[in-house]
A and B are shown apart, each in its own frame.
Chain A
Amino acid sequence: MLSKIENDLLTHTNSGTGAGEYFRRFWIPALLASEVPTPDCPPVQIRLLGDDLVAFRDTHGRVGLMEEFCPHRRASLFWGRNEECGLRCVYHGWKFDVTGACVDMPNEPPEYGFENKIRITAYPTREYGGLIWAYLGPPDKTPELPKLEFARVPDSHRYVSKRVQESNYLQAIEGGVDSSHSNFLHANVDAFRVTDSYVAKVKSSPNLRAKYHLLDKAPRFTVKKTDYGLVIAVRRNAEEDTYYWRMTQFLLPSYTIIPYQKGNSIHGHCWVPRDDETCWVWTFTWNPDEPLSQEDRDAIANETFVHAKVEPVTLRPLRNKSNNYGIDRELQRTTTMTGIHGFASQDQAIQESMGAIVDRTQERLGTSDTAIIATRRLLLQEIHALQQGNEPRAAHNGDAYWVRSCSLVLNRQIEFDLGAREFMIAEV
């Protein structure tokens, strides 16, 4: 449980709030590079941390990110013309470059030089890993870009998607670190009921997760604080002398990496507050060694796993609250726990059902919620530290993000952080 004060501190992200200022100390994913694909392409509206912004790629290929509304009459620059190294408001012709400087003001007499005195708030951007990253914090505190593995593989080895979720970012992160929900929310009915046919099927399966989750439904949790955030280790009994371990990283301010089994692709998320009641869900799939497989591409196309298709303008998933996420009650009765297609939609449905911002004073946690508690406490400690003038160290240590999740079987005598150490380092 959290107090109301703690819950508010974690979930409110506008400028001037605890979590809002904390997020503003990091580079955050803002756009897919493909949203502003070419010089002078159409501008894009985006809300980040409660701020309404507009992005555009100028004639020289530089990406500008600035407040959406023209300082003259507050008209939206989304309707503007992206031309000759600037975005021009179509109401009275004021034009701004990527730094926010007003470079033309054709409706005022030139002798006044009014344009030299006008600026619009603009934020620095970087293009990295197929994404446009933004920094919305104080210029003298500019952080390092996180050295995330997905961002450093060739384009053919990576797929990134972005969607809007209608909930606060924190309950989405909590879903990401809460490994126990996958036994239920993402399970099929046979696995949940442990039917004979299912047992026979998974016992010979190379999928360690399916096999050992079935054999031990009461995992033990361990959390360790790290330079980048947390490593969350979940232990299940495997064979007589071994444990099956799954390690998830929580990377500040809001990334997770799903436990990875050697030979497969790796998947991760980042949740960025759009405002207090909605967030951007970024989902990354990458293969460090080779281009994504046909199996990966099929999972993406068929939305079976972590990616979901979206409406092109709103970026809202096609399966959403307005259509009950496409729930199929017959499928739920016979086959899957939810009757909702795909992990992404299952997560979205359940997290949105909790309300825009969960009232954490009313919840009933237990010891299987250790990872959730650890994530909240770490974020609260970081926010409090920033409020006392201590800048987040992770924001200035991009190398700390050079990690990878893993899942493996270890002898019972070996501690996970020793046995898994070499597997938790990125390799690209």
Chain B
Amino acid sequence: MRLNPAHIVTVNDSSEETLRELIAALEVSTDFEHLIYRESELDAVWSIAGFALRDEPNAIRRDAIARLRDTAHVAHDLVADRRPREAADKLKSLL
């Protein structure tokens, strides 16, 4: 079923499943409203990753979380620049 870009994806974590949902939403987003929702979702991922990074003692996991946070930041700015497909590609690089 085609994902409705007018619906906001619930972002409770930064799991692979959540990222796949965000990618799917990014790939069908075209309008101003859609991009606002995508930006808010990526803001949430970036925030969650930032908090996780602060609390993660394991160096290897820290690197992975930092990469996730930084990629979410780049994807966020691409959405702000109205380039959602490129943002989706960035997130795909994390999978």
Is A220 interfacial (CB-CB < 8 Å)? yes
- Asked whether, in the complex, the Cβ of B80 is within 8 Å of the Cβ of A222, the reply is no
Known: A221-B8, A222-B6. A366 touches B47 (CB 8 A): yes
Which of A3, A6, A224, A373 touches B40 (beta carbons < 8 Å)? A373
Is A223 interfacial (CB-CB < 8 Å)? yes
Is A115 interfacial (CB-CB < 8 Å)? no
Which of B8, B50, B73, B80 touches A370 (beta carbons < 8 Å)? B8
Residues of A within 8 A of B47 (CB): 364-366
Closest to B7 in A: A220
Is A377 interfacial (CB-CB < 8 Å)? yes
Is B77 interfacial (CB-CB < 8 Å)? yes
- Asked whether, in the complex, the Cβ of A373 is within 8 Å of the Cβ of B36, the reply is yes
- Interface size for A (C-beta < 8 A) is 19
Is A238 interfacial (CB-CB < 8 Å)? no
- Asked whether, in the complex, the Cβ of B44 is within 8 Å of the Cβ of A1, the reply is no
Least Cβ–Cβ distance between B42 and chain A, in angstroms: 9
Which chain B residues numbered 70 to 86 have a C-beta less than 8 Å away from chain A?
73, 76-77, 80
Which chain A residues numbered 332 to 385 have a C-beta less than 8 Å away from chain B?
364-367, 369-370, 373-374, 377-378
Closest to B10 in A: A367
The answer for the CA separation of A367 and B51 in the assembled complex, in Å, is 16
The answer for the CA separation of A378 and B6 in the assembled complex, in Å, is 17
Which chain A residues numbered 215 to 271 have a C-beta less than 8 Å away from chain B?
220-225
The answer for the CA separation of A221 and B43 in the assembled complex, in Å, is 15
- Asked whether, in the complex, the Cβ of B50 is within 8 Å of the Cβ of A367, the reply is no
Least Cβ–Cβ distance between A188 and chain B, in angstroms: 29
- Asked whether, in the complex, the Cβ of A1 is within 8 Å of the Cβ of B43, the reply is yes
Known: A1-B46, A223-B33. A365 touches B40 (CB 8 A): yes
Least Cβ–Cβ distance between A12 and chain B, in angstroms: 19
Is B24 interfacial (CB-CB < 8 Å)? no
- Asked whether, in the complex, the Cβ of A370 is within 8 Å of the Cβ of B44, the reply is no
The 0/1 profile, CB within 8 Å of A marked 1, for residues 34-72 of chain B is 011101110110110011000000000000000000000
Closest to A377 in B: B36
Residues of A within 8 A of B73 (CB): 1
The answer for the CA separation of A364 and B44 in the assembled complex, in Å, is 7
Is B11 interfacial (CB-CB < 8 Å)? yes
Residues of B within 8 A of A1 (CB): 43, 46, 73, 76
Least Cβ–Cβ distance between B13 and chain A, in angstroms: 12
Residues of B within 8 A of A373 (CB): 36, 39-40, 43
Known: A223-B36, A377-B32, A377-B36. A364 touches B50 (CB 8 A): yes
Known: A220-B8, A222-B6, A377-B80. A367 touches B40 (CB 8 A): yes
- Asked whether, in the complex, the Cβ of B11 is within 8 Å of the Cβ of A224, the reply is no
The answer for the CA separation of A367 and B37 in the assembled complex, in Å, is 7
Which of A3, A224, A369 touches B33 (beta carbons < 8 Å)? A224
- Asked whether, in the complex, the Cβ of B32 is within 8 Å of the Cβ of A222, the reply is no
Closest to A218 in B: B10
Least Cβ–Cβ distance between B83 and chain A, in angstroms: 14
Which of A3, A221, A225, A365 touches B32 (beta carbons < 8 Å)? A225
The answer for the CA separation of A240 and B44 in the assembled complex, in Å, is 30
Residues of B within 8 A of A374 (CB): 32-33, 36
The answer for the CA separation of A378 and B31 in the assembled complex, in Å, is 13
Residues of A within 8 A of B36 (CB): 223, 370, 373-374, 377
Known: A373-B36, A374-B36. A367 touches B41 (CB 8 A): yes
Which chain A residues numbered 185 to 227 have a C-beta less than 8 Å away from chain B?
220-225
The answer for the CA separation of A102 and B35 in the assembled complex, in Å, is 53
The answer for the CA separation of A369 and B9 in the assembled complex, in Å, is 13
Least Cβ–Cβ distance between A234 and chain B, in angstroms: 12
- Asked whether, in the complex, the Cβ of A369 is within 8 Å of the Cβ of B76, the reply is no
Which chain A residues numbered 362 to 417 have a C-beta less than 8 Å away from chain B?
364-367, 369-370, 373-374, 377-378
The answer for the CA separation of A377 and B10 in the assembled complex, in Å, is 21
Q: List 14 A-B contacts (CB under 8 A).
A: A220-B8, A222-B6, A225-B32, A364-B43, A364-B46, A365-B40, A365-B44, A365-B47, A366-B43, A366-B44, A366-B47, A367-B9, A370-B37, A374-B36
Q: A1-B43, A365-B40, A367-B8 are in contact. List 5 more A-B contacts (CB 8 A).
A: A6-B80, A366-B43, A370-B8, A370-B37, A373-B43
The 4 closest A-B pairs by CB, nearest first: A364-B47, A365-B43, A374-B36, A366-B44
